[in-house]
Amino acid sequence: MKNKEIAEMLGEIALMLSVDTRPTARFEVRAYQKAALTIGTLQEDVGEIFAKGGERALMELPGIGKGIAGSVAEYIKTGKMKKYDGLKRQYPIDFKALTAIEGLGAKRLIRLYNELGIKDVDDLSRAVKAHKIEKLEGFGRRSEEQIGKGIELAEKGRGRILISEGLPVAEAIVKRIMESGAAEMAVVAGSARRMRETVGDLDILVLSSKPGKAMDFFAGLDEVSSIVMKGPTKTTAWLKAGVTCDVRVIAPESFGAALQYFTGSRDHNVQVRTIAVRKGYKLNEYGLFREGGRPVEAGSEEEIYAKLGMQWMPPEMREARGEVGLAQAKRIPKIVELEDIKGDMHTHTRETDGANTIEEMAEEAMKIGYRYFATTNHTKSLFIARGMDEKKFTGFFKNVDRLNEQLDGKVRIIKGAEVDILKDGSLDLDKKFLEEMECAVGAVHQSLRMDRESMTKRIVGALDSGLIRILAHPTGRELLWREPYAVDLDRVFDAAERNNVALEINSYPSRLDLSDTNIMAASKYKLMFSLGTDAHRTSHMRFMRYGVGTARRGWLAPDRIINTMDMARMLRWLSR
């Protein structure tokens, strides 16, 4: 899939154009930003869309006009994009790596390039160590320290990508291998199968009577950047997505053992192998064996675990956090599945910073099969997102009421807002207005560097107001970019329990907040959870799979999640 490459190029064009002083430049920037978001979140291969319908098919995608469609088509056909190449000659900056550092936008980067010659992270790191940045007007010591911390965080995440970037690529490779006729079966394994929030590599297992053909086919895929190692049954390649991928051809009698071995975390597998030894077996990626090397017939994962006296467990649980003991006791809990989700509790429309109308969001919700979804636009203090005040919300909600009448129960739009929790813990809309709202989702977006005690009091104060039904992205983290803010989560969980507030598992791939470990900690309290995609366009509503994956990693049962309820029960819960 070329989606990621093209989306990144369009995003870089927007960044480089953002310093253009022409009156029309800001419209051009917005167009490229929209196009980058559209292509970056497509579920289908943009190359296949072009192959089927040409530039006209590209122009049918949201936010893709004639000029951008031409540039995308040019890249698909030639591997080059004149607009991008021209701007890169002017600004030879590693925007992808540098904008991943908190506090650095395009204008600052171009200024650092012009004044200090900084092109990449290494240049930036040297400038920080030499204290050159603090001397620049508009930066100062505090900015330099923040940039230094951002470099450290970026270094930690180097070589890793979001699950939303890795899993679709792995699934596309599996699909193409199967369509090629080179394999009888192909499956995703490894950390992607466990739905880790970020992945450092991808693993694919293949069952094939033509292993050479399968290896050749994989090596020739468009997703492959270069071959690290190629053999008769294993090939390792660098992918254009930015990680390596191992494709292994497995013998039929070893497939169950291999899938178990290449799925579980290292610690999980150590525990399982220890149990095997105690029972007189040897377990490895090739199979389960009795003493003397005699194989035990067990062709599937379920059979492998059963032979060891264990219950099969979902891949997301295999992290050595107590699941092995539960499997031995046959007490693996039922955890939530994507099919359990009946609605999305966090979405945005074009009235603030979304790309689609409420009508388009409703249409997408119906396509997914939802019974309801909450529309939760930003509130007035969030200027960057064109937040709405009480008057604008009133007009918008009248439109929602009319649309709900037209929809006649096909899907129910819940009237809500993502209400900013201000620095003092107060909320960004009038109390009376919030009391009349169906679903107030509280969120911290600004002043993120408060000390732990102040941030905790801020959030707890908002929860104690009794006006919030859901606390959005409770730790404020952004994966590979921003650490969680300092907060005492136990006090937040206690306040949520006390006030009957649901904690959000934000399904937007760069958030996935609460994390799996925080979900497990919060589960000890008598409180509920909510799954929302934070969708800013229709395609983002498909991000729910990543939130569900995180909830499953946190062992969350469906009855702990408010949007597994049917519509009537959900509305009753919200009105309490």
Determine the Cα–Cα distance for residues 355 and 41; give it in Å rounded to an integer.
13
Instruction: Tell me if 3-156 shares its fold with 338-575.
Output: no
Determine the Cα–Cα distance for residues 182 and 205; give it in Å rounded to an integer.
13
Looking up tokens 């990508």, which residue turns up? 161
Architecture of domain 338-575: Alpha-Beta Barrel (3.20)
Residue 1: per-residue pLDDT: 61
Q: Are 370 and 407 in contact (CB under 8 A)?
A: no
User: Is 3-156 CATH 1.10.150.110?
Assistant: yes
Looking up tokens 């031409």, which residue turns up? 70
CATH number of the domain at 255-328, out of 3.40.50.720, 3.30.210.10, 3.90.550.10, 3.40.50.300?
3.30.210.10
Q: Structural domain boundaries of the chain?
A: 3-156, 161-249, 255-328, 338-575
Residue 157: per-residue pLDDT: 67
What burial class does residue 213 get, using C-beta atoms within 10 Å of its C-beta: 0-12 exposed, 13-18 middle, 19+ buried?
middle
How remote is the C-alpha of 75 from its chain's centroid?
Answer: 26
Q: Are 272 and 324 in contact (CB under 8 A)?
A: yes
Q: Residues near 253 by Cβ (< 8 Å), separated by ≥ 6?
A: 287, 295, 297, 299
What is residue 500's three-state secondary structure?
A: coil
Query: What secondary structure does DSSP assign to 321-388, as a single string?
Result: SSHHHHHHTT-PPP---GGG--EEEEE--TTTT-SS-HHHHHHHHHHHT-SEEEEEEEBTT-GGGT-B
Determine the Cα–Cα distance for residues 108 and 99; give it in Å rounded to an integer.
10
Residue 374: per-residue pLDDT: 98
Query: What pLDDT digit, counting tens, does each position of 63-80 carry?
Result: 899 999 999 999 999 999
Q: 514 preceded by cis ω (within 30°)?
A: yes
For residue 378, CA distances in Å to 427, 501, 574 come to: 12, 19, 19
CB atoms within 10 A of CB 536: 20
Query: What pLDDT digit, counting tens, does each position of 130-144 carry?
Result: 999 988 888 888 888
Low-confidence ranges of the chain (pLDDT < 70): 1, 157
Residue 263: per-residue pLDDT: 97
User: Is 161-249 CATH 3.30.460.10?
Assistant: yes
What is residue 235's three-state secondary structure?
A: strand
Residue 45: per-residue pLDDT: 85
